[in-house]
Amino acid sequence: MRTLKLKKGNLDTFLAKISELGELWGPRKKGEVYIYDRIDDLRDLVKEPVITFLPIKKLFLPPRFQMLHYDGKIYEENINQFEQRIVYGVPPCEIHSLLIFDKLFGLKYKDPYYFKRREKTIIIALSCTPSSACLCKSARTHVIEEGFDLAITDLNDFYLVWVGTSKGDDLIRAAPELFDKNVTQEDIQKFIKWREVRDGKFKKSIDFVTMPDLMDLNYNSHIWKEFAEKCLSCGACSMVCPTCNCYDVIDEIELGDNSVNRERFWDSCMFKEYSMVAGGHNFREAKAERLKLWYTHKLKSFTDAYKKYSCVGCGRCVITCPVDINILSVVEALLTGKVDKDSLLTEKGK
């Protein structure tokens, strides 16, 4: 891995140049939130670090997409219809979520829909400073060593640019005159200082190492029923979580011409119908059981299976849940045995 410097004033020129190599995507403002979107005008691209409403997973596994079409005689899979994309501004925590997906969707059966999009996407990571909801330092996802093609850190006067792959090197070769190979000791000291300042801005923390044991000890705790009294079963926590990956598949049949569209869409274990089976039996009809399942997966079972937390500390669940059931409030209840039903709701209402 090599490191270069890019002047702040050269970023737009670089982005314009590499957009000739593929569709440029990145965060843009939409109403009160940020979203990942295709960028046709660089003035729409948000170049500073932001947390988008939906995570990067939506670009690799869209909320709903067609898997195949059957016309009554033959079927055609929708796998190879993807353009080359370059995605700018992906924060480190979401790089870690993609590494989780790489492992999860590449086990015994390689998910072609995910990996085809992954192969056709070049990732430009962008280092960030934490918001009040960020927990990525606790999750050890605030730094990255893999999973990106280029990684950029803003050091005020210039960007440090790490080249992670041959695809990233191809981007540099598109405009080599914009980069400086001479990284000085002064530059290194600026980077060290930047890391110290960033690490000092984290306001919240979680001891993820103790979470598997705490989940075991609290498996039959009253806290799950208390949280269930507030839970809306809306599934918003699953939709905004970078590592939630449950999905369902349906066949939409056109009776008139015998054609079938097979579609895949996001699902959530928080939905009542998720655990329903033939005959109408539901293994987790109670909201308390569904909540327990969600957090057991995040804080224990995934760690047991893959030696990695299924929470990357992005803080989206903290921001999104309308009734304050999130990684922070649940961990607090696991630690104290009490559900704080008022404090965070009062704070949100201010």
Are the C-beta atoms of residues 19 and 173 closer than 8 Å to each other?
Answer: no
SS3 36: strand
- 190 plus 212 within the same structural domain: no
Mean pLDDT throughout 6-24? 96
Q: Which of 15, 158, 154 lies closest to 88, judged by CA? A: 15
At 247 the pLDDT is 94
Of 179, 199, 219, at which residue does a domain stop?
A: 199
Is 50 exceeded by the pLDDT of residue 250? yes
Reported as a single tens digit per residue, the pLDDT across 84-121 is: 999 999 999 999 999 999 999 998 889 999 999 999 99
- 112 plus 54 within the same structural domain: yes
Is 80 exceeded by the pLDDT of residue 244? yes
HSE of 189 in the Cβ direction (CA atoms, 13 Å)? 3
- 92 plus 227 within the same structural domain: no
Reported as a single tens digit per residue, the pLDDT across 281-321 is: 888 889 999 999 999 999 998 887 777 889 999 999 999 99
At 342 the pLDDT is 66
The Cα 203–Cα 8 span in angstroms is 29
- 67 plus 135 within the same structural domain: yes
- 45 plus 157 within the same structural domain: yes
Q: What is the dihedral of CA 167, 169, 173, 178, to 10 degrees?
A: 120
Domains contained in the chain, number: 2
Q: Three-state secondary structure along 77-121?
A: ECCCCCCCEEEEEECHHHHHHHHHHHHHCCCCCCCHHHHHHHHCE
The pair of structure tokens assigned to 230 is: 């507030």
Of 152, 174, 199, at which residue does a domain stop?
A: 199
CA distances to 92, 123, 237, 315, 339 from 129, in Å: 10, 19, 23, 13, 30
- 107 plus 233 within the same structural domain: no
Is 70 exceeded by the pLDDT of residue 344? no
Percent of the chain with pLDDT over 70: 97
- 219 plus 168 within the same structural domain: no
At 346 the pLDDT is 39
The Cα 126–Cα 214 span in angstroms is 34
Of 199, 230, 247, at which residue does a domain stop?
A: 199
- 85 plus 60 within the same structural domain: yes
- Residue 254 has what DSSP assignment? E
CA distances to 11, 77, 222, 297, 313 from 72, in Å: 51, 14, 54, 41, 47
- 189 plus 217 within the same structural domain: no
At 257 the pLDDT is 78
pTM above 0.85, yes or no: yes
Is 50 exceeded by the pLDDT of residue 340? yes
| Angle at the Cα of 214 from the Cα atoms of 212 and 219, rounded to 5 degrees | 95
- 189 plus 288 within the same structural domain: no
The pair of structure tokens assigned to 83 is: 């353009």
At 302 the pLDDT is 84
- 174 plus 55 within the same structural domain: yes
Which residues form the domain of 314? 208-349
Query: What's the mean pLDDT when you consider all of the chain?
Result: 92
Phi and psi at residue 250, to the nearest 5°: -130, 150
Region of poorest pLDDT, from 15-19, 40-44, 77-81, 92-96: 77-81
CA distances to 58, 116, 121, 299 from 312, in Å: 16, 24, 21, 11
- 111 plus 42 within the same structural domain: yes
Region of poorest pLDDT, from 123-127, 238-242, 305-309: 305-309
The Cα 270–Cα 286 span in angstroms is 10
